[in-house]
A and B are shown apart, each in its own frame.
Chain A
Amino acid sequence: MYSIILATASRYLLLLLLMFSVFLLFRGHNEPGGGFVGGLVAAAAYALYFIANGIEAARTIVRFEPIMIIAAGLCTAVASTLPSLVVGKSFMTAVWVDTGIPFVGKVGTPLLFDLGVYFLVLGITLCIIFSLAEEDRL
């Protein structure tokens, strides 16, 4: 059931949604949002793209194996717990960099952690959806 209208719209919506997801991610520490919702919205973007354009197109555009995205996310999240050990604090203690950046605010390991969560959530959702979609084709 390919539809030009949906396919075309989905390409633009993809960008908007991804952008919004990043927005949610970075802003989550101060306002509603965060890694989870960000990741979910990003996944929703790709899900939309997949429904409109099919699974191959979606895979092409995601470019990475979802499982690798999961691994990257988990890696980031786990890595964010390590600086605390380097500086000799208790496990998972937040470590903050002195200078903040605009909009995002203070930069520190919790942000990194949230980033990991973002990728992880994106990865797992994609992994599930893509697996289902591919099974479906066979």
Chain B
Amino acid sequence: MTFIEWSVDISVIIIGLSILVIFLRLVIGPSIEDRIVSLDLLSANAIAFIAVYSIQKKTTTFLDVGIIVALLAFLGTVAFAYYLGRRGRE
């Protein structure tokens, strides 16, 4: 096992762990904003995971998925904020 393979494996585990931790925050909340932030963070971690996974599987095709996730996660977050804003107004 080369260093890169080793570090990839480690990275995958660490990212997986972080994802679980962030997900825990999503589950416990307490505020809805906490959950939204966690969701945003989860998608960010998904990008990292995809990047590492593309090295692990030696395929570049996955990276484009990362771009999409980055672009869209932001829209999702903004949409939630929009909702919160409206909720506040009414």
Contacts and interface: CB of A to CB of B under 8 A. Distances in A.
Q: In their complex, do chains A and B touch, with some C-beta pair under 8 Å?
A: yes
A31 B61 contact: yes
B86 interface: yes
B46 to A, nearest CB: 15
B21 interface: no
Contact of A51 (B61, B65, B71, B78): B78
A48 B78 CA distance: 8
Contacts, number: 35
A31 B59 CA distance: 12
Q: Is the interface of A mostly helix, strand, loop or mixed?
A: helix
A41 interface: yes
Chain A's interface size range is 10 to 19
Q: Is the interface of B mostly helix, strand, loop or mixed?
A: helix
Contacts of A41: 68, 71-72
B64 interface: yes
Given A1-B89, A16-B71, A47-B79, 13 more contacts: A1-B82, A13-B74, A20-B67, A20-B71, A24-B64, A33-B64, A41-B68, A44-B71, A47-B75, A48-B74, A51-B78, A51-B79, A51-B82
Interface of B: 61, 64-65, 67-68, 71-72, 74-75, 78-79, 81-82, 85-86, 88-89
Interface of A: 1, 6, 13, 16-17, 20, 24, 31-33, 37, 41, 44, 47-48, 51-52
